[in-house]
Amino acid sequence: MTKKPFSKILIANRGEIAGRVIRTARRMDISTVAVYSDADRHAMHVREADEAAYIGPSPAAESYLAGDKIIETAKASGAEAIHPGYGFLSENPGFVEAVEAAGLIFIGPSAASIRAMGLKDAAKALMEKAGVPVVPGYHGEAQELVLLATKAREIGYPVLIKARAGGGGKGMRRVDDPDKFADALASCRREAKASFGDDQVLVEKYIEKPRHIEVQVFGDNFGNAVHLFERDCSAQRRHQKVIEEAPAPGMTDEMRAAMTDAAVKAAKAINYSGAGTIEFIVDGSQGLMPDGFWFMEMNTRLQVEHPVTEMVTGVDLVEWQLRVAAGEALPLKQEEIELDGHAMEVRVYAENPSNGFLPSTGTLHHLDFGTDDPMWPVSGRVDTGVETGDTISPFYDPMIAKLIANSIDREGCIDELVAVLSSTKIAGVSTNIGFLAALLVNEEFEAANIDTGIIERNLDELILRPEPDDAAIFSAILAASGMSAASSSRDPWDMIAGYGHFHPVGKLVRLKRGETMVQARAFAQGGDRVRIESGESTDTVISLADNGNFALWPGHVTVFDGPFCHDFEIPDPFAEAQDHGAGDRLTAPMPGLVKIARAAAGDAVKKGAALLVLEAMKMEHTISAPQDGTIAEITEEGTQVSEGAILVRFRDTGEKNGKAKR
The catalytic residue positions are 301
Is the Cβ–Cβ distance between 189 and 201 less than 8 Å? yes
Residue pair 439/235 in contact (Cβ under 8 Å)? The answer is: yes
The most distant pair of C-alpha atoms in the chain lies apart, rounded to whole Å, by 95
Residue 485, SS3 per DSSP: coil
Strand 540-543 relative to strand 391-392: parallel, antiparallel, unpaired? unpaired
Helix ranges, 408-493 (H): 410-423, 433-440, 443-446, 454-457, 459-462, 470-481
Q: At what angle do helices 111-118 and 120-130 cross, to 10 degrees?
A: 100
Q: How many CB atoms lie within 10 A of CB 539?
A: 13
Q: Look at the alpha carbons of 63, 69, 75, 80 in this order and tell me if their dihedral is positive or negative.
A: positive
- Phi, psi (rounded to 5 degrees) for 428: 120, -30
DSSP, collapsed to helix, strand or coil, labels residue 241 as: strand
Output DSSP code: residue 498. Answer: G
Q: In degrees rounded to 5, what are phi and psi of residue 593?
A: -110, 130
Which whole-number Å values give the CA distances from 392 to 98, 174, 448, in the listed order? 31, 34, 33
Alpha-carbon distance 52 to 404, whole Å? 28
- Strands 105-106 and 81-83 turn out to be parallel
The per-residue b/e assignment along 511-534, b for 16 or more CB within 10 angstroms, e otherwise, is: bbbeeeebebbbbbbebbbbbbeb
- Inter-residue contact 349 to 400 (CB < 8 Å): yes
Beta strands 556-561 and 564-569, pairing class: antiparallel
Q: Could you tell me which of 200, 145, 206 has the C-alpha nearest to residue 174?
A: 206
Pairing of strands 293-299, 274-283: antiparallel
Q: Give the single-character DSSP code of 285.
A: B
Which among 76, 68, 109 has a CA at the least distance from the CA of 8? Answer: 76
Beta carbons of 335 and 396 less than 8 angstroms apart: no
Give the containing element (helix H, strand E) for 21.
Answer: helix 15-27
Contacts for 275 with CB less than 8 Å, ≥ 6 apart: 108, 216, 217, 218, 301, 302, 303, 306, 317, 320, 321
Residue 590, SS3 per DSSP: coil
CB atoms within 10 A of CB 397: 15
Q: How far apart are CA 257 and CA 578, in angstroms?
A: 71
